[in-house]
Structure 1
Amino acid sequence: MPSSSVSSWDEPEGLAARGTLIVLAGRGEHGGVYERFGRRLGFDAYRVRALGDPTADPAVLEQAAKLLADESLPGPKVLVGSDTGALYALQLAADRTAGVDALILAGLPTGAWTAGSWEEEAAARTACPTHQGRLTGDPGFRRGAIDGTPDLPAPRLDLVHVPVLALHGKDDTISPLDRALSVYDGHAGVHTVAFHGGRHDVLNDALHRTAAATVVLFLERLRLTSEVREAPEIHDAGQTPGIRELPLIAEELT
């Protein structure tokens, strides 16, 4: 699949769209890799537009900016980045790209990693046998790309002024959890959720349903707080809307 192509999933017919997610893929990936995630969020009436790997095609960032500016796509508009896509999503937000209402960062990379074989890479990426099989048989997926560490943007969270949901696998060997947490540490706008048994490709891991549910809760919280800001006659009774409860397979860290 060409890196310039956009994979799209929309809300069911008859439902009003509740927002738009723009996905930036990670190393070796293309937008179609996020079909399962897109369909699940689409079912909850969120539009999803999944783009390619910015490390392979910098034009992906221009595509993202155009989608953010597209008035036909409903807000709130949320940038979702997986692997190196998370760093590029952070860059767009830090550069104050118009239209970014929030960020969702999955498997933020923190250093170099090298796989000895495709089997080792597939296992490090995801514990989901279905997704491993999909990647193995996908001619558009570039094996070994995750070994490369191109000139990546620094995670300038100090310049980001929108809510951030950070998702990370506790068993991520490509980007160990403690290193990712050191990047997020000290930034009050970051809400971090770690998944027990989770590996690097959090949105396509064995716990993908829990990850998607966590994303939906974050999006609903974002919508609710936006509605409160836009309606001054509604007063907060001292209870901040948010993610109240998560399954035991996930751990709310911030």
Structure 2
Amino acid sequence: MTEHDYLGPQGLRTRGTVLVLPGRGETRRSYARFGTRLAADSYRVRVLAAPDADAGSADRLAAELTAAVTDLGPDLVHPLVLIGSDLGAAALAALVAREETGAAWWPDAVVLAALPGYGTHGSDAWDDELDARTHCAVHRGVLSDDTEVARGTLDRAVPSALLDAAYGNAVDVPHLLLVGDADPYADRAALTSAAKTLPRARLAVVRGGHHDVLNDLQHRSVAAEIVTFLEVLRDGTPLVPIVDVESSAW
């Protein structure tokens, strides 16, 4: 167990295992609140280091995921779900596209949050980057107070080859795609196309959400969407919503 492991309430059965991959500029501390929130619903959460985007990064990511799964040992409870944000989402989608179904880290499902689009989006100052990332005052403080957060990294384009692999992913693994409708780094057309290409995908758009969609103002609702997805997975296949809205005035 590390300082970036989050455990469920004592005495309750663990309902699944979640491994989280941060994005550009972020650290493991960026996801403390997110990990704590999922753990409150009895999911074991471990936040890993943000992946790289250079040659060989996929093999290193596979090795890191394997190490995490091996380290958990008998504490690994399925479903095993991999969650990535920004570069973490792109690297995860590209790795899953290799279809290494026999790998120890092979997931029961994937959550891709804030999958970036092609090209760059420049920001003139840290406050500009924060505005693009999140409007949550608490999370802005977390990012600003963490001396290990690499400011300005969102200005660097994600390699096109990595995004090609991520958006070309058509693996038959349940996917939850999350994007904020105010995310300046997102490519909604590419996301919509990807959601239609994937055999089992759900695309959820967060109203008013910015790039750090897991940690923006709507983080409670986003976490609830993820927990709902996790609970559906526990029910097995085919995936069927647990709650159906029969009638609503809004």
Query: What TM-score do the two structures reach when normalised by structure 2?
Result: 0.84
Does 1:132 pair with 2:129? no
Kindly provide the amino acid, as one letter, of the partner of residue 73 in structure 2: E
Q: How does 1:123-202 map to 2 (within 5 A)?
A: 123-151=131-159, 153=162, 154-155=165-166, 157-202=168-213
Q: Which runs of no fewer than 5 residues in structure 2 stay unpaired?
A: none
1:40 Cα deviation (Å)? 0.6
Distance change (3 Å), C-alpha of 1:114 and 1:196: same
| Counterparts of 2:109 and 2:174, CA distance in 1 | 5
Conserved? CA contact 1:6–1:49, under 8 Å: no
- Corresponding residue for 2:110? 103
CA deviation map 1:169-205 (0-9, x unaligned): 0011121433432333333311010011001111001
2:85 maps to what in 1?
Answer: 82
Q: Which runs of 5+ in 1 are unaligned?
A: 230-238, 249-254
User: Is the contact made by 2:21 and 2:51 (CA closer than 8 Å) also made in structure 1?
Assistant: yes
Whether the 8 Å contact between 2:8 and 2:43 is mirrored in structure 1 is: yes
Pair 1:221 & 2:232 matched: yes
Task: Name the SS for the 1:119 alignment partner.
Answer: helix
Cα deviation, residue 244, structure 1: 3.7
Specify the alignment match of 2:36 in structure 1: 39
User: What percent of counterpart residues are identical?
Assistant: 37
Equivalents in 2 of 1:134, 1:126: separation in Å? 11
Deviations 1:94-145 (A, max 9, x none): 2234231100010001122211111110000011111111111111110011
Cα distance in 1 for partners of 2:168, 2:222 equals: 22
Counterpart residue number, 1:65:
66
Shift of 1:88: 1.2
1:26-48 CA distance string (max 9 Å, x none): 00111221011100110100011
Q: In the aligned structure 2, how far is the partner of 1:208 from the partner of 1:79?
A: 18
Alignment of 1:23-38 (within 5 A): 23-38=20-35
CA RMSD, 1 decimal: 2.3
Letter in 1 for 2:208: G
Match of 1:233 in 2: none
Runs of 4+ more than 6 Å apart: none
**Secondary structure of 2:235 counterpart:** helix
